Amino acid sequence: MRRLGVEEEFLIVDNASGHAVPLGELLGRLSDDDGLSSEMKQEQIEACTLPRISLDELAQDLTARRVSADSTARAVGARSVAVATLPFPVQSTAAPGERIERMMQKFGVTAAEQLTCGCHVHVEIDSDEEGVAILDRIRIWLPVLMALTANSPFCNGVDTGYASYRSQAWNRWPTAGPSEIFGSAEGYHAHIQDMLRSGVPLDLAQIYLDARLSHHHPTVEIRVADVCLFADDAVLLAALVRGLAETAARQWRAGVPPVPASAVQLRLASWQAGRFGLDGELVDPLTGQPRAAFDVVMSLLDFIQPVLKEQGEFDVVESLLFQVLTRGTGAARQREAYAKAGSLCDVIADAVHASSLPATALRQLTDSPLLASDQSF
């Protein structure tokens, strides 16, 4: 089985008001956890798991990193929360450093307003050639992963109408989004070099494609997901990505070509997924036509079912998947919290609570009570 790892980005909010506070650099210094680090904006912190094979170990890592991020924030009167955009208006603060300063100068308001949190999954590969073969074959399924992890309905004080508004904000970067089929490792690297030669991205780290070869590790890196409100959903995302990667690698070795969907078609599918999440129709990856979200998700499960069964993961993945389909995404949970309490402060309070639930809590998520608005988080 391929090793996998997960990177999660969290927002740092004031313990009393729920508004973002610029403590990322401080938390990075205070933390004793090597898996925590600061991010582009001071209102964020990133948590990285170790490379794992077992989903149980990955779940333990995810839970431990979330606890570590939150406990470090608590020490300075703040909390860590797994939402992909902050519901409140915020003027974010850039982290110090020459590279970040160059980004802020070059990309203007796109960089200044950027304060979103994603979840990135790394899956081990044998070679760049295999990695590119995987990228070419899983690209059509990435909008489905976006829909499953949608967790950013509120931004700048309003309900945006999107399940994943982060996807809209993130795709303002010129290098973000889906890509065409690369065909080979040589084709991939030529494409990346063409992007760099344009002078638009500052460096390799600014290649923000939805899926790419990691420039630090021998992995494919899937970057399309919102940070998940529930740790369980991050485990599900990682398992689905690994199942897709292994299925795609086997197709490549068997000579099965990738589905020839264009990047334009995939951008449309991604928009649909970001707009509605699981509450409506998705674009079917195989036909390019609208189809009920449930049916598209079941198609994904069917596609990777042989690999999941061989790896002994089908039952847990099916359980986690039906949990999301039953209780809804993080976006649905945030809107439910707002409908019950009528306050964005309560949305953050409930999100802080949900973020801290351990990744083994498969039954208690939907029924956990909202925190009262006059309580600290």
> Is 268 contained in some domain?
yes
Looking at residue 139, its pLDDT comes to 98
- Is residue 367 situated within a structural domain? no
Closest listed residue to residue 320, CA positions, set 223, 239, 222, 224: 239
In a domain, 368, yes or no: no
CATH number of the domain bearing residue 311: 3.30.590.20
Average pLDDT of span 44-54: 95
**For the segment 70-115, what is each residue's pLDDT rounded down to a tens digit?**
999 999 999 999 999 999 999 999 999 999 999 999 999 999 999 9
What is the percent of the chain where pLDDT is above 90? 89
Return the DSSP state at 258: P
User: In which band, very low, low, confident or very high, does the pLDDT at 158 lie, cut at 50, 70 and 90?
Assistant: very high
Q: What is the mean pLDDT of the chain?
A: 93
User: What is the structure's pLDDT at 359?
Assistant: 85
Among candidate residues 90, 83, 188, 91, the one with its CA nearest the CA of residue 130: 188
pLDDT of residue 245: 98
Task: Please state the pTM of the whole predicted model.
Answer: 0.93
The two tokens of residue 5 are 């790892």
In terms of C-beta density within 10 A (0-12 exposed, 13-18 middle, 19 or more buried), how is residue 197 classed? exposed
DSSP-H helix ranges across 42-184 = 55-74, 98-112, 128-138, 142-149, 165-170
The pLDDT value recorded for residue 68 is 92
* Domain presence at residue 249: yes
User: What pLDDT does 27 receive?
Assistant: 83
3-state secondary structure 234-251: HHHHHHHHHHHHHHHHHH
**pLDDT score of 29:** 78
Give the pLDDT confidence score for residue 24 in this predicted structure.
Answer: 85
- Write the pLDDT tens digit of every residue in 199-219: 999 999 999 999 999 999 999
Domain presence at residue 158:
yes
Q: Supply the pLDDT for residue 208.
A: 97
pLDDT tens readout for residues 295-343: 999 999 999 999 999 999 999 999 999 999 999 999 999 999 999 988 9
Q: Name the pLDDT band for 184 (thresholds 50, 70, 90).
A: very high
**Residue 373 falls inside a structural domain:** no
Confidence band for 9, pLDDT divided at 50, 70 and 90: very high
Residue 288 lies inside a defined structural domain of this protein: yes
Domain, as residue range, for 243? 4-355
Tens-digit pLDDT profile for residues 256-304:
999 999 999 999 999 999 999 999 999 999 999 999 999 999 999 999 9
Total number of domains constituting the chain:
1
Residue 370 is assigned to a structural domain of this protein? no
Residue 198 CB contacts under 8 Å (≥ 6 apart), including other chains: none
